[in-house]
A and B are shown apart, each in its own frame.
Chain A
Amino acid sequence: MTRKGRHKTSRKTKARVASKTISICHGTSCIEAGSGQLAVAFEAALRRKSLSADVKVRPGRCTGYCHVAPVVAIEPDGITYGNVKLSDVERIIDKHVIGGKILEDLLVPAEPAYPSLQPLSATGFFEKQVLIVMRNRGRIDPESIEDYIANDGYQALAKAVSEMKPEQVIDEVKQAGLRGRGGAGFPTGLKWEICRRSKTSETKYIVCNADEGDPGAFMDRSLLESDPHAVVEGMIIGAYAIGASHGFVYVREEYPIALERIVGATEAARDYGLLGEGILGSDFSFDISVVRGAGAFVCGEETALVASIEGKDGRPRPRPPFPAERGLWGCPTNINNVETWANVPPIILKGGKWYASIGTAKSKGTKVFSLVGKVKNTGLIEVPMGTTLREIIYDIGGGILRDRKLKAVQTGGPSGGCIPASLIDLPVDYEELTKAGSIMGSGGLIVMDEDTCMVDVAHYFVSFLEEESCGKCTPCREGLTRMREILERIVEGKGKRGDIELLEALAHVVKDASLCGLGATAPNPVLSTLKYFRDEYEAHVYHKRCPAKVCKALIVYRVIPEKCTGCQRCVRACPVGAISGPRAQPHNLDQSLCIKCGACYEVCKFDAIAGDAIYVE
């Protein structure tokens, strides 16, 4: 049977699918929250009610509503329910599936009250989003190649192989203006061209970088889990353009579901003749292996990644030579990020011109961000390049939690910079973020409110990066340790005159002189907070004061006797028994026992506990 024929059959089967589908998210968060059991319960209930023939249950992909996992969507109504429990199964079937009524209490929080049925795309969370990479979000079963094909899947590959020369594919990607989504934003078409033209050897490889070591980032994981074929198709097209015979997907080992899905997808593609010898009847052959990552953050750096796939110690090496000239086993190797690959099929299908019409002058298309921190709606979002931070935080994110004030946004993962609230109208693209002292990185976006201490933030990230340094080069290995020591001193109230200047000098050396991107970007959290929040450093060092009241060593709690009613709430709350006093009389707080957890401060109803700075002139 030809591929076309298969395609038609799968469309027909789809058309026969009954009136409603219950799509149960099978992303990581939802599986952890019990979506597997939910699916079984729905199936059983439908069978009991003899509805199995009309209503289908199928695993869905992550829609970004992970904060209310497990998530269940009823299609085609486009209604999404969150925090669904086993006890809700019966109700959902009786009231919604049979009765056509919405269960208001289960609707995902970001949505307005529904007067009538409304499609998923009309909820506040989605209005400003443009879905290219996440085009199949929540719409297909990630484990079904038929589902992917029914949604235009592998059409781009068919077009490339049958109608386009490899050079034309490269030109299309160049015209699209696609840039790498894994960090540095190198133009993808150009990278492919360098690799295609490299004369180092005839054998060429491509790699999909799914190491994603940034804490709190999960866009690549989610893509692999919810639409693995998009990545596979992008890679096959790339291999055709570059002339590569084999590809590797390097997946972080902590991502078992992503691993399983991408392996499944390559197997299905092989069964369909989309991988292997003579793809789609052409003379182009290509296959993909999936490699389990070694687990270190630095293994995401491309030269370390190459070493790691080769089975060697995952430490970076100096570039040049770049992997496009000398990569895996000395052969030209093109490495792209998961999201970069997933952008390729739509570009080939709809054209580079179409893609280039989205975004800003030098940054085209969309970017997936994992929006986390102190915003109301967290999750994965996809927005056109050039969307402002304000739109992301307030329109999509729904504003700051508990309506506190925004203080800063950290973009780009642990080695990104902190952008202050005053730059809220910054359009997010590669150039603007770099100008503001941060990076696009892989797309982490952490929102911080006024209760955040920026010195503490810098200390946190530098400590993370110190642990992740591979230890090869002097500035990163020795410098990060010394930077962490200085920051530790400062947050512990032991900062000395000269510390801020020494920290700054070190930061510049580490940034300028490190061997790889880890060291070269690691000082960003420090340099950006020194630039925008220097007064906080000075308050810590010179006045032993933490303006955000975060650094424990710099706070003393005390009872204000005039306000204390002697209610004894704080006595019960204190975990170390530092507060004492008879009922109805002002209490005592023993400084020598206090661990500064702030529990008393939290529970006191009369504002009788004060958290003061230890003031030293």
Chain B
Amino acid sequence: MVKRDRITITIDGRRRKAERGQSILEVAREAAIEIPTLCYHESLTPWGSCRLCVVEASQHGRTRVVASCVTPAEDGMVIKTNTQRIRDIRRMIITLLLARCPGLAILKNYANEFGIKRIPFEKGDEDCFLCGMCVRACSEIVGIGAIGFAHRGAKTEVEPPFGFASSACIGCGTCTTICPARTLTLEKVFARQTMHRGKDQIVGRCVVCETYYSGA
């Protein structure tokens, strides 16, 4: 049984044993091969949305660009994590996100690392790059699901579902801790909720210690 579940892949020229079901990203990390990520977190279900973790995967004579965090390693796969094509894609993704959120340190660091000097797009003033970690953390770790995505396309935002504050938020702060942009603060979760909720406000803030609490 153990034998059947072991597979072999080649990653940047090195042969690696892996377990069936492991993602390419996990195998790469075990081999100490660095793949940049923005929406991946060990404690959360992979989401595959930022696309920074792309690699080239060849199998059965076909080469595809795949997101390594959500693509399972398969027996006989040949992975290349750092080709020109991959570097071009990653540079463009950071360029696009930085144009959206020019102020974020995490993006600026990547831009430095990738040698991005110029953003050829009109700059926006967002501070959230929609990695979805807060949303997943609230539902998977806290088990509450108080926040979600609202709207579609370029207008997508993190919000309490359907624009109503869910009375579910317990003010635990998990979402703000996990936010890689250091963007989400409880004030924001709070503010976003009051915006739509008016009088039924349930999350409160202690006037003495200034921490948030939930009330019924």
Contacts and interface: CB of A to CB of B under 8 A. Distances in A.
A552 B70 CA distance: 46
A505 B87 CA distance: 13
A407 B6 CA distance: 55
A305 to B, nearest CB: 16
A502 B89 contact: no
B143 interface: no
Given A317-B48, A513-B67, 14 more contacts: A469-B153, A471-B130, A471-B153, A471-B155, A472-B156, A473-B51, A474-B50, A475-B92, A478-B96, A481-B154, A502-B120, A509-B93, A513-B51, A515-B49
Nearest to B93: A474
Contact of B154 (A317, A320, A478, A506): A478
B121 A471 contact: no
Interface in B76-118: 85, 88-89, 92-93, 96-97, 99-100
Give the interface size class of chain B.
35 or more
Interface residues of A, number: 33
Interface string A470-493: 111111011111100100000000
Contacts of A514: 51
A474 B51 contact: yes
Interface of A: 296, 313, 315, 317-318, 320, 466-475, 477-482, 485, 498, 502, 505-506, 508-509, 512-515
Contact of A473 (B50, B88, B122): B50
A484 to B, nearest CB: 9
B156 A506 contact: no
B149 interface: yes
Interface of B: 46, 48-52, 54, 65, 67, 70-72, 85, 88-89, 92-93, 96-97, 99-100, 120-122, 129-130, 132, 148-149, 151-156
Contacts of A467: 153
B93 A475 contact: yes
B159 to A, nearest CB: 12
A356 to B, nearest CB: 25
Nearest to A498: B120
A474 B154 contact: no
B149 A471 contact: yes
Nearest to A514: B51
A478 B50 contact: no
Contacts of A479: 92, 96
Contacts of B148: 313
Contacts of A485: 121-122
Contacts of B149: 313, 315, 471-472
A475 B122 contact: no
A467 B153 CA distance: 6
Given A478-B100, A513-B65, A466 B153 contact: yes
A513 B49 CA distance: 10
22 contacts: A313-B148, A315-B149, A318-B46, A318-B48, A320-B71, A470-B152, A471-B151, A472-B149, A474-B51, A474-B97, A475-B93, A475-B96, A478-B96, A479-B92, A485-B122, A505-B88, A509-B92, A513-B51, A513-B67, A513-B89, A513-B93, A514-B51
Nearest to B48: A318
Contacts of B122: 485
A482 B99 contact: yes
A514 B64 CA distance: 12
A471 B129 CA distance: 11
B84 to A, nearest CB: 12
A512 B156 contact: no
Contacts of B51: 473-475, 513-515
Contacts of B70: 318
Contact of A513 (B54, B97, B120, B153): B54
Contacts of A505: 88, 92
Given A482-B121, A512-B85, A473 B49 contact: yes
Contacts of A471: 130, 149, 151-156
Given A478-B97, A513-B51, A470 B92 contact: no
A508 B54 CA distance: 14
A477 B51 CA distance: 12
A127 B155 CA distance: 49
